[in-house]
Amino acid sequence: MAGLAATTVATALSVEQDSGYHYITPQKRNLIMMVSDGFGSASESMARGYVQQMDNKPYEWLSVLDKLYVGLSRTKSADTLVTDSAAGATVFSCGKKTYNGAIGVTSDEKPCGTVLEAAKDAGYTTALVVTSRITHATPAAFAAHVVERGMEELIAQQLVGNNTLGNKVDLMFGGGKCFFQPNSTPGSCRSDSMDVWALAKDSGYTSVSSRAEFDMLETSTALPLIGLFTQGHMSYNIDRNPTVEPSLTEMAMKALNILLEHTRDSPTGFFIMIEGSRIDMAGHDNDPTAHLHDIIEYWETVAAVQGFVDRHPNTAMVSTSDHETGGLTLGIDPEYVWHPRHMQGVKKSAEVICAELRQMLPDKRTGFAQNIVIPEYLGITNASNQSLAQIVNGAAKGEVECKHAVGHVVSKLAHLGWSTGGHTGADVGLYAYGKGTESLRGNIENTQVGEFLARYLEVDLDQITRRLENETTTQPGYVWARNLPSIVKREDRHSNSHDHGCNDDPLSHHIIDIYHQNYRL
């Protein structure tokens, strides 16, 4: 990976570009919302530090995101201080906080109109581009409404027009074809016989599912268009075969060029949500190198999008994260160091390594880990017996344990730490570019990001909410239950402190309310 920084911008800008400026009336505008799922400030520091060290960049070197930094976004959801991606995306799409697991519904489990739906209703052309399943939490929250994120069968149906509003996403690129295939198809994720891929075609969608078909797409390709290139999530960038799967940058630029062409003679522009989905999943795996590679790919996408905005000044771009994942720390006790070089030799993600290990007979794993995984896949030449045992034992325990074991072996050498295999409640970076984004400054609540999107496009989400009153939000046969709220709500009791008989106690003015019962802080 040496030389990675030097090729970042060049690679991004060498991806398919549009043919030039497109001058239009001042009223016409485009909005690009970018989500770096699970990407925290420490992750940006890690990637920057890696590039500086490996490519001998000066101390003052900035990544493309560093240059666009405008503030921080807070991340809590309606029911907990640590959000999940469903609530974290719904707050962007609807501008309203909701409970963890909610997709396009508010805390009362009722559908809320999204910025994508309102944009489509106002005449904008709309798109979703992701590296996860297209039915996963973030893309789903912009174009579907279900009470629990696991209802991906219903989400798939809603994405292709089987919903109250009809077709609302003009272009979709990503993974997750398995939820569009009937259960009779090998590799299907559905529990029923519904063929959603056929349903999409019946709804007018042009469909593609291979790299060759993707490459053949012209800017004039008919919309609506759906391209799903893997059965499940798309590969981590470290594992991606470029002859099989397009990169996030390639998908984003292809989508932008198609949207540009299709809105050339339209009085309205487009809205697109682009997600670097798998940054988050590498954080869950505590896999620092997969995390790094997907961050670098996201940087490339941001650079390409920034170039697009420069050429089309009626366009604005916002980038932020729904939350941080993994609780990454640069440095572990007791030494004040971390060593980026130990990620340089890693060739495969923990996900791919563990898939290979766990399909082997147990008595074959030690030899494979010792002779292949550690020296070839991880690039480690002096691994301890403890590291070998850690990987082999992790493989025996389970998929998650195996991925954490592999990730922790590399992390220990690099002196990186992880506080969790889940999310944290930390604030995340906020980045913006283009005219009209000046109001996004400082430390803001995540609701303000969603409010900005609607305000920039001048669309009415409330009227969409009213039309969604009878939307189906539960998947037949899916059993679910909401978790109890854990968030602490603080109330100022100055006005009636005497009623509590504690006006002389300074803590009496700060009471917490949980399920209508008062507790002191």
**CA–CA separation, 423 vs 124, rounded Å?**
34
Report the catalytic residues.
Answer: 85
**CA–CA separation, 219 vs 122, rounded Å?**
23
431 within 8 A of 319, measured Cβ to Cβ: yes
314 within 8 A of 24, measured Cβ to Cβ: yes
488 within 8 A of 425, measured Cβ to Cβ: no
190 within 8 A of 494, measured Cβ to Cβ: no
DSSP codes, 255-314: HHHHHHHHTTT-SS-EEEEEE-THHHHHHHTT-HHHHHHHHHHHHHHHHHHHHHHHH-TT
Structure token digits, residue 247: 């990169």
Length of the chain: 521
**Residue given tokens 């309102």 in the structure block:** 118
Residue type at 157?
Answer: Q
3-class DSSP state for residue 492? strand
The sign of the dihedral angle between the CA atoms of 300, 302, 303, 307 is positive
DSSP codes, 407-449: HHHHHHHHTEEES-SSEE---EEEEEESTT-TT--EEE-HHHH
**CA–CA separation, 514 vs 239, rounded Å?**
46
25 within 8 A of 450, measured Cβ to Cβ: no
Q: What angle do CA 410, 337, 284 make, to 5 degrees?
A: 40
Strands 428-433 and 510-514: unpaired
22 closest CA partner among 197, 224, 263: 263
**CA–CA separation, 384 vs 364, rounded Å?**
19
DSSP codes, 67-101: HHEEEEE----SS-SS--HHHHHHHHHHSS---TT
